[in-house]
């Protein structure tokens, strides 16, 4: 049985230019278009007690339209708040701009200090305080490390690939590459050729994956397969989507995949359950998810790459069902949406009402380590009028989820 873990909110409608990429920095939304224009919006969230229209919680203002940003489509965007930079891929080149003023800092260069051209895709990670970018070009994989001294990414190594890469995702210290007919794992510390993981089949035209805290999920047609950083499957059962999704997102502990006229949401747990289905959210034509090309292995609870920078609440707002700091942005070719998580205590309470006690306790386990905290205490109320953030247990004790 599913439950309501997310709410969908329309943010921007009918953008006149076609959207190619999106990225978030706090309350700033960057929209890359097919014509090379970069649109910059300020996004404002209004709580339900302050909102005159409960259905319109996110409002926007266009603060900048940079027609000089690029001459070609902006294929990828990624914000790195800690470094104060916006990373963009357009016309086969990766450029760095300042987040605040969008001043161009650098164009990434090869080992000969020449501007790199023909770049097809990039993926960025943070690990042990070090930012590393991996990028693909014609049958090549290039790794670059960020130099704080020079405020740019510097060439580190180049590897030859057996074929052109169609997707690239960090897998811990390794890299998972999707080729036309297979997924392979590249060990950056070895000179061995890529290790074959799975065949994709002759019918699959695209490959894609999503980097998670301790594993990675890759799509083979309409099946998602999770593997650890060594390439070994981590779950007995695959994730069955209605069709091949165009992109995959992750907001702990949920996997988010647009499929046709819906966004399918599943919970990733270690319980080994066959069907991790949680919810379908009706929205048609989603093509991109914010920050899907960045993973922060140092801060897995609040992924700053997702732009989680709304003002942190100091007390639990029981009137507001959603947590605006726990959200991800999605877009079609013309519209932008915010998928916001319902507060954890409401998810756990709904599961408890549905007698899904094991799943409710699993949600409580996930809360540990976030801004929420779980306490076991005796409540001086009957279960008929118990606080909504309490899960009753035996002997009149409750598991109570509150803000830490």
Question: CATH class for domain 6-342?
Answer: mainly beta
| Distance, CA of 92 to CA of 76 (rounded, Å) | 11
The confidence score (pLDDT) of residue 374 equals 62
First and final C-alpha spacing in the chain: 30
Q: Give CA separation, 372 vs 92, 274, 364, 393, in Å.
A: 43, 28, 9, 20
pLDDT at 100 exceeding the cut of 80: yes
* Per-residue model confidence as pLDDT tens digits over 150-170: 999 999 999 999 999 999 999
pLDDT at 48 exceeding the cut of 80: no
| Distance, CA of 293 to CA of 316 (rounded, Å) | 32
Where, residue-wise, is CATH 2.130.10.10 in the chain? 6-342
Helix (H, G, I), strand (E, B) or coil at 175: strand
310 against 321, higher pLDDT: 321
Rounded mean pLDDT of 260-289? 86
* Per-residue model confidence as pLDDT tens digits over 5-21: 999 999 999 999 999 99
The confidence score (pLDDT) of residue 46 equals 82
Q: Give CA separation, 111 vs 115, 116, 183, 205, 220, in Å.
A: 10, 9, 28, 33, 35
* Per-residue model confidence as pLDDT tens digits over 278-306: 999 999 999 999 978 899 888 765 443 44
* Per-residue model confidence as pLDDT tens digits over 209-234: 999 889 999 999 889 999 999 999 99
381: pLDDT confidence band, cut at 50, 70 and 90?
Answer: very low
Are 3 and 351 contacting, i.e. CB atoms less than 8 angstroms apart? yes
36: pLDDT confidence band, cut at 50, 70 and 90?
Answer: very high
314: pLDDT confidence band, cut at 50, 70 and 90?
Answer: very low
């Amino acid at each position: 049985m599913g439950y309501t873990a997310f709410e969908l909110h329309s943010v921007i409608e009918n953008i006149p230019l076609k959207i190619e990429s999106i990225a978030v920095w706090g309350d700033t939304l960057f929209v890359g278009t097919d014509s090379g224009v970069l649109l910059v919006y300020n996004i404002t969230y209004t709580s339900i007690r302050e909102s005159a229209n409960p259905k319109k919680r996110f409002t926007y203002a266009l603060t900048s339209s940079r027609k000089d940003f690029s001459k070609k489509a902006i294929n990828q965007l990624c914000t790195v708040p800690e470094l104060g930079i916006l990373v963009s891929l357009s016309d086969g080149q990766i450029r760095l701009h300042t987040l605040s003023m969008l001043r161009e800092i650098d164009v990434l260069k090869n080992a000969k200090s020449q501007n790199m051209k023909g770049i097809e895709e990039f993926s960025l990670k943070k690990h042990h305080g070090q930012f590393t970018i991996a990028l693909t070009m014609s049958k090549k994989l290039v790794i670059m490390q960020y130099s704080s001294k020079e405020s740019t990414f510097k060439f580190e190594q180049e590897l030859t690939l057996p074929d052109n890469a169609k997707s690239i995702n960090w897998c811990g210290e390794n890299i998972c590459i999707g080729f036309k007919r297979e997924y392979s794992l590249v060990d950056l510390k070895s000179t061995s050729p890529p290790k074959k993981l799975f065949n994709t089949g002759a019918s699959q035209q695209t490959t894609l994956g999503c980097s998670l805290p301790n594993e990675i999920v890759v799509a083979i047609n309409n099946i998602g397969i999770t593997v650890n950083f060594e390439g070994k499957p981590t779950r007995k059962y695959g994730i069955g989507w209605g069709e091949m999704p165009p992109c995959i997102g992750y907001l702990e502990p949920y996997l988010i995949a647009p499929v046709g006229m819906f966004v399918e949401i599943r919970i990733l747990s270690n319980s080994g359950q066959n069907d991790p289905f949680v919810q379908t959210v009706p929205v048609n034509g989603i093509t991109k998810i914010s920050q899907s090309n960045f993973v922060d292995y140092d801060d897995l609870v609040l992924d700053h790459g997702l732009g989680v920078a709304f003002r942190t609440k100091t007390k639990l707002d029981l009137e507001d069902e959603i947590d605006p700091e726990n959200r991800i942005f999605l877009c079609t070719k013309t519209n932008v949406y915010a998928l916001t998580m319902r507060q954890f205590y409401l998810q756990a309470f709904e599961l408890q009402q549905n007698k899904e006690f094991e799943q409710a306790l699993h949600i409580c386990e996930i809360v540990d380590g976030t801004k929420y905290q779980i306490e076991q205490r005796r409540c001086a109320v009957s279960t008929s009028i118990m606080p909504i953030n309490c899960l009753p247990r035996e002997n009149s004790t409750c598991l109570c989820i509150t803000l830490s």
